[in-house]
């Protein structure tokens, strides 16, 4: 088939760069027949399995890998069908980078210590190009385990490209050391200067300013040595087969592991994981099973809307709002080529539309005719779900990979009857709960099947139901076809008053662009004026109002919408005030340029008060982080009251890394128990927004010393910032983050239970004889509000400060008044009672206290060291000076560990490979089973849990 060939050519471009198309086409058949494509990956995973098994002291290994074959490939009999696996749930993504930003593997990880990461990203070039093996370890095997530990157990890197050196004092002698674990890794400090493949080297000198080694200085390890640790530092060293544990850990190293995990070793963190507590090791030198691989193929998306039309749907204008929202889904959201059916249910269920493939606009128009317009009767949720399955089976022999969108506003005591049965059907169930009385257990359908969860209140000016339907994405990772929400806003507009606004259409979107205006009282549209960036005007008469839905006006922009600001003015011409909303959706403008996308979510789905929660928004374009955007989160409670918070990417408070395109904030304003929903608005302005790079990349080893000889690797290929910044302009996005449930909030007023958050970016500078400390202010409640006062402590013992902060010497902070959260603080003082001589290190730490006398955890600990570098390596005129550098720290995060406990000791994860090209995107999903050995007293029958 034509599609298959197109696909395969693109897929194999990375394998045969620069070869003629014909040649590629002829090799494809061979490669497919031999399944050669997956060989490099299979080999890597198999080797990694053994390495992981030994590194975890005979506990964990990779048991099974599933590879998802893209929809457009020629089907083969051995391909199994996809069930609930999807790109969005993938653990590993293999994809070409957007804009060349190198082939360094990385894990997208932005939770606290011990929290799981989002995914590992490898480039095809990395997996297929042998030159990386010397740098990252054989065949990518060891780096895969390094990344896996980030992803699975939430441990952090033990090197630090931003702080590669620190000062250490041993028996009175101060030395500059490489940030590493263990500190026993031996090597030399070398400055390479390379011309092509030949490198000159010399020993590093000290920097006059920092007294650490000069910029460009590299720690080059001995290739042959005996240190077994650590995988999170330099997994590529041949002797490295372990994680740093309590005895080998280097707590002085200025790295992320120490900062995030409060100086705990990586192995201690792994031992605290649910994986570890649910298993025991076995007595064997190799994993009991060799990794197996299976190929799964996706099929056309099949979705059945299962909509509650029970009596309660008559209230609060629910049935009309459902119509409006489902209409947006059918006309604007669901992708062309998908199969869609509609079921309604009350005491019984009815098929209102059989499964149909969306091949034209006419089919979409036919489908909306099946949407319900009236309500009455009881609520039998299982009836609806089973009827939905019936609809899917009109096309497919089984339910594998199909989706049900289940909406209800009511309770149903019989719902549990079908929960267990539905679990293993292979269909993904997305749930939408509407109003405060929707069945509290409804989300179990989503939890069991990996579906999305949404909640909409009856508050009309929050667009909750429309956002829920707009958020039902396929999870296929095929970004070029997915709908993108540019705007979703609503407000109550008084008689004859206006609702005005601007929506920016950026160059990455513009196809299939819809402007939708809804209103909730009048049966005729308000007066609409919409102006495109070139001044072309669209008026009410240009919008379409369907006979079936008299409260929605829709404008579809032909072709690609003009890039720039679209301005709108909408006047309420009704005789009373009403809620008017503006919703704008679009799709990628071209297959070649990935659009800016947003993923918003909370750190967990269910929260027990008084644990805080964290809101995250990932803003990216083709794997590159988008920096400098304004990200506003709205969290709405069941009863409709909403809190708005600005998310920050500044590396303070809940945000663990600055400038990684992950915008974060703590959420503590719990107004009661029940469901909450999250929505984010993102605005990127041309002047401030830019693309960044992925951080937390695996260590690029500069070279090795072999038999006394320095052998440098080729320097890391650097990409100029101009290249990755050039293409981003102003943009607008809206994303729903789904719903979550809060429990145990006491009834009646809530007293303050949240202390200021831990300060993680404390820095110290010597200014003459004074110490200058700076940090980002925490708030009254974690990173929100304003603290009341600070306690600053000083000690010559790092451990004393960390373990018994209260007993250390206080610094007088009476003149120091905390600023609002997120503001930079600055404080100068003269240390007393400290004799400063060469080799003295003084440590500082801060705690913040709020007006309810709640105290934050101890900040990261900074060091100020007096250190005279050895004479021979100093420039002649160098005076003796005091130097500083920071030792970051972080306390244990309360109750933020993954709640995802292993069932019967076995766990499953997913890997996805995608290869994007200029014509069409290719997706391969792979899933890996991590088999975790059972405790001896348990049965040894591995089960899969997807």
Q: How far is the CB of 665 from Ca ion (least distance, A)?
A: 10
How far apart, in whole angstroms, are the C-alpha atoms of residue 889 and residue 13?
Answer: 45
- Segment lying near Ca ion (by CB under 5 A), choices 352-360, 472-480, 600-608, 751-759: 751-759
Q: Which is nearer to Ca ion, 443 or 655 (CB)?
A: 655
Q: Does 761 bind Ca ion (CB under 5 A)?
A: no
β-pairing, 824-829 vs 770-776, is antiparallel
Of residues 762 through 791, those in contact with Ca ion by CB under 5 A are 780-781
390 binds Ca ion, rule: CB under 5 A: no
User: Taking CB under 5 A as the rule, does residue 662 contact Ca ion?
Assistant: yes
Cβ proximity to Ca ion, 403 vs 783, nearer residue: 783
One of 660, 783, 825, 857 touching Ca ion (CB under 5 A): 660
Shortest CB 151 distance to Ca ion, Å: 18
Residue 572 or 780 having the CB closest to Ca ion = 780
- Shortest CB 785 distance to Ca ion, Å: 7
Task: Tell me the Cα Rg of the chain.
Answer: 29
The one segment of 224-232, 352-360, 533-541, 844-852 that binds Ca ion by CB under 5 A:
844-852
Closer residue to Ca ion, CB minimum distance, 660 or 761: 660
Q: SS3 breakdown of the chain: % helix, strand, coil, rounded to 5?
A: 20, 35, 45
Interacting span for Ca ion (CB under 5 A) from 154-162, 321-329, 622-630, 661-669 = 661-669
Q: Is the dihedral of CA 345, 351, 355, 358 positive or negative?
A: negative
Residue 762 CA: distances (Å) to CA of 151, 169, 614, 806, 845 = 27, 21, 22, 18, 8
Count CB atoms within 10 A of the CB of residue 419.
15
CB of 255 to Ca ion, least distance (A): 18
Min dist CB 111 to Ca ion, Å, is 11
Q: Is residue 335 close enough to count as binding Ca ion by CB under 5 A?
A: no
**Chosen residue from 445, 754, 790, 844 binding Ca ion by CB under 5 A:** 754
DSSP per-residue letters across 337-400: T-EEEEEEESSSEEEEEEEEE--SHHHHHHHHTTS-----S---HHHHHHHHHHHHTTT-SS-T
Residues 894, 895, 899: CA angle, nearest 5 degrees: 155
Strand partners, 581: 490, 518
Which CB, 108 or 484, lies closer to Ca ion?
A: 108
Selected range binding Ca ion among 51-59, 171-179, 569-577, 651-659, rule: CB under 5 A: 651-659
Stretch that binds Ca ion, among 240-248, 596-604, 750-758, 868-876 (CB under 5 A): 750-758
Interacting residues of 54 by C-beta distance below 8 A, sequence separation 6+: 241, 285
Q: Which is nearer to Ca ion, 10 or 626 (CB)?
A: 626
Least distance to Ca ion, CB of residue 792, Å = 20
CA-based nearest residue to 703, from 337, 146, 237: 237
Contact pattern for Ca ion over residues 697 through 736, marking x by CB under 5 A:
----------------------------------------
Shortest CB 203 distance to Ca ion, Å: 37
Regarding 850 and contact with Ca ion (CB under 5 A), the answer is: yes
389 vs 422: CA distance, rounded Å: 10
Burial profile 857-866: b = 16 or more Cβ within 10 angstroms, e = fewer: bbbbbbbbbb
CA distance 519 to 491: 10
Taking the least distance from each CB to Ca ion, the nearer of 308 and 850 is 850
How do beta strands 709-712 and 789-795 pair? unpaired
Is 752 near Ca ion (CB under 5 A)?
Answer: yes
User: Any catalytic annotation for residue 147?
Assistant: yes
List, in sequence order, every residue forming a beta bridge with 806; answer none if it has no partner: none
Torsion over CA: 235, 240, 242, 245 (sign): negative
Sign of torsion over alpha carbons 29, 31, 37, 38: positive
603 three-class SS: coil
Residue with tokens 């000791």: 905
Helix (H) or strand (E) holding 711: strand 709-712
- The backbone torsions φ and ψ at residue 124, rounded to the nearest 5 degrees and listed phi first, read -55, -40
Q: Is 857 in the site for Ca ion (CB under 5 A)?
A: no
Q: Identify which of residues 56 and 664 has a Cβ nearer to Ca ion in the complex.
A: 664
Q: How far is the CB of 821 from Ca ion (least distance, A)?
A: 11
- What does the per-residue mask of binding to Ca ion show for 620-649, with x meaning CB under 5 A? -----------------------------x
**At its nearest, how many Å lie between Ca ion and the CB of residue 110?**
6
The Cα angle at residue 730 between residues 729 and 732, in degrees rounded to 5: 135
Residue (781 or 857) nearer to Ca ion, CB = 781
Catalytic residue, chosen from 47, 85, 115, 147, is 147
- Closest distance between Ca ion and the C-beta of residue 784, in Å? 9
3-state class (DSSP) for residue 599: strand
Residues 64-103: x/- map of binding to Ca ion (CB under 5 A)?
A: ----------------------------------------
Query: Is residue 655 a contact point for Ca ion (CB under 5 A)?
Result: yes
State which residue, 428 or 662, has the beta carbon closest to Ca ion: 662
Exactly one of 657, 695, 916, 929 binds Ca ion (CB under 5 A); which one? Answer: 657
* 443 is a site residue for Ca ion (CB under 5 A): no
> Cα separations (Å) of 356 from 44, 271, 540?
42, 51, 32
**Cβ distance to Ca ion smaller for residue 64 or 787:** 787
Number of residues that bind Ca ion (CB under 5 A): 10
Q: How far apart are CA 912 and CA 925, in angstroms?
A: 4
Closest distance to Ca ion from the beta carbon of 59 (Å): 32
Name the residues that contact Ca ion, by CB under 5 A: 649, 655, 657, 660, 662, 752, 754, 780-781, 850
Known catalytic residues? Answer: 147
């Amino acid at each position: 088939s034509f599609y298959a060939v197109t696909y395969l050519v693109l897929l194999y471009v990375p394998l045969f760069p620069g070869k003629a198309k014909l040649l590629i086409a002829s090799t494809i058949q061979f490669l497919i027949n031999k399944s050669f494509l997956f060989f490099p990956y299979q080999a890597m995973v198999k080797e990694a399995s053994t390495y992981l098994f030994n590194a975890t002291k005979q506990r964990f290994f990779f048991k099974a890998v599933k590879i998802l074959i893209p929809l457009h490939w020629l089907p083969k009999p051995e391909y199994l069908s996809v069930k609930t696996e999807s790109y969005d749930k993938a653990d590993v993504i293999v994809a070409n980078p957007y804009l060349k930003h190198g082939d360094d593997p990385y894990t997208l990880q932005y939770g606290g210590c011990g929290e799981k990461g989002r995914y590992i990203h490898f480039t095809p070039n990395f997996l297929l190009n042998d030159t990386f093996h010397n740098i990252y370890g054989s065949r990518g095997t060891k780096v895969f385990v390094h990344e896996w530990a980030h992803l699975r157990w939430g441990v952090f890197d033990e090197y630090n490209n931003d702080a590669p050196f620190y000062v250490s004092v041993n028996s009175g002698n101060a030395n500059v050391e490489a940030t590493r674990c263990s500190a026993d890794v031996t090597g030399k400090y070398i400055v390479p200067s390379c011309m092509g493949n030949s490198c000159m080297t010399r020993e590093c000198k000290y920097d006059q300013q920092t007294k650490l080694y000069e910029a460009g200085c590299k720690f080059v390890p001995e290739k042959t040595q005996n240190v077994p640790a650590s995988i999170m530092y330099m997994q590529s060293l041949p002797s490295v087969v372990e994680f740093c544990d309590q005895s080998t850990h280097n707590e002085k190293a200025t790295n992320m592991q120490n900062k995030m995990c409060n100086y705990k070793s990586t192995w201690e963190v792994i031992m605290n994981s649910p994986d570890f507590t649910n298993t025991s090791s076995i007595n064997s030198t190799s994993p009991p099973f060799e990794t197996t691989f299976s190929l799964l193929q996706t099929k056309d998306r099949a979705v059945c809307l299962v909509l509650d039309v029970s009596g309660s749907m008559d209230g609060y204008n629910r049935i009309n709002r459902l119509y409006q929202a489902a209409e947006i889904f059918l006309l604007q959201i669901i992708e062309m080529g998908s199969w869609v059916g509609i079921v309604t249910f009350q005491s019984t269920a009815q098929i209102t539309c059989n499964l149909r493939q969306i091949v034209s606009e006419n089919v979409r128009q036919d489908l909306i005719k099946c949407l319900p317009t009236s309500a009455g009767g009881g609520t039998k949720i299982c009836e609806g779900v089973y009827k939905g399955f019936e609809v899917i089976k009109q096309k497919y022999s089984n339910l594998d990979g199909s989706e049900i969108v289940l909406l209800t506003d009511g309770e149903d005591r019989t719902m549990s009857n079908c929960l267990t049965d539905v679990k293993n059907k292979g269909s993904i169930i997305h749930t939408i709960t509407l109003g405060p009385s929707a069945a509290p257990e409804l989300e179990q359908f989503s939890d069991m099947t990996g579906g999305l969860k949404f909640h909409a209140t009856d508050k009309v000016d929050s667009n909750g139901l429309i956002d829920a339907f707009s958020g039902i994405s396929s999870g296929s990772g095929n970004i070029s076809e997915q709908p993108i929400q540019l705007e979703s806003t609503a407000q109550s507009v008084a008689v004859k008053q206006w609702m005005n606004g601007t929506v920016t259409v950026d160059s990455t979107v513009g196809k299939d662009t819809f402007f939708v205006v809804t209103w909730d009282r009048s049966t005729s549209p308000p007066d609409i004026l919409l102006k495109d960036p070139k001044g072309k005007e669209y008026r009410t008469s240009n919008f379409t109002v369907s006979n079936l839905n008299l409260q929605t006006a829709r404008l579809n922009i032909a072709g690609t919408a003009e890039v720039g600001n679209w301005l709108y003015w909408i006047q309420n011409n009704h005789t009373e005030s009403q809620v008017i909303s503006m919703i704008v959706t679009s799709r990628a403008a071209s297959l070649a340029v990935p659009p800016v996308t947003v993923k918003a979510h909370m750190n967990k789905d269910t929260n027990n008060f008084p644990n805080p929660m964290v809101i995250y928004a990932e803003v990216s374009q083709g794997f590159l982080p988008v920096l400098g955007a304004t990200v506003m989160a709205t969290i709405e409670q069941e009863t409709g009251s909403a809190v708005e918070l600005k998310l920050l990417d500044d590396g303070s408070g809940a945000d663990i890394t600055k400038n990684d395109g992950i915008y974060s904030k703590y959420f503590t304003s719990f107004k009661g128990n029940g469901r909450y929903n999250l929505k984010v608005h993102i605005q990127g302005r041309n002047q401030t927004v830019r693309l960044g790079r992925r951080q937390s990349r695996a260590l690029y080893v500069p070279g090795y010393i072999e038999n006394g000889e320095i052998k440098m690797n080729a320097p890391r290929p650097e990409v100029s910032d101009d290249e990755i910044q050039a293409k981003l302009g102003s943009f607008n996005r809206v994303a729903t983050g789904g719903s979550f449930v809060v429990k145990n909030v006491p009834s009646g007023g809530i007293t303050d239970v949240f202390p200021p958050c831990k300060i993680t970016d404390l820095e110290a500078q010597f200014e003459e004889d004074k110490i200058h400390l700076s940090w980002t202010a925490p708030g009254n409640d974690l990173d929100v509000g304003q603290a009341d006062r600070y306690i600053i402590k000083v000690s010559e013992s790092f451990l004393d400060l960390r373990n018994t902060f209260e007993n250390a010497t206080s610094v007088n902070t009476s003149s120091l008044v905390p600023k609002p959260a997120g503001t930079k603080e600055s404080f100068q003082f003269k240390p007393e009672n400290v004799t400063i001589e060469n080799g003295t290190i003084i440590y500082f730490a801060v705690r913040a206290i709020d007006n309810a006398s709640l105290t934050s955890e101890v900040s990261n600990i900074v060091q100020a060291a007096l250190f005279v570098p050895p004479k021979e390596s100093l420039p002649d005129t160098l005076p003796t000076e005091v130097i500083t550098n920071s030792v970051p720290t972080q306390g244990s995060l309360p109750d933020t560990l993954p709640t995802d406990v292993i069932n019967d000791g076995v766990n499953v994860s997913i890997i996805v490979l995608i290869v994007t090209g200029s014509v069409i995107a290719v997706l391969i999903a792979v899933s890996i089973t991590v088999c975790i050995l059972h405790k001896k007293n348990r049965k040894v029958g591995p089960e899969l849990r997807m």
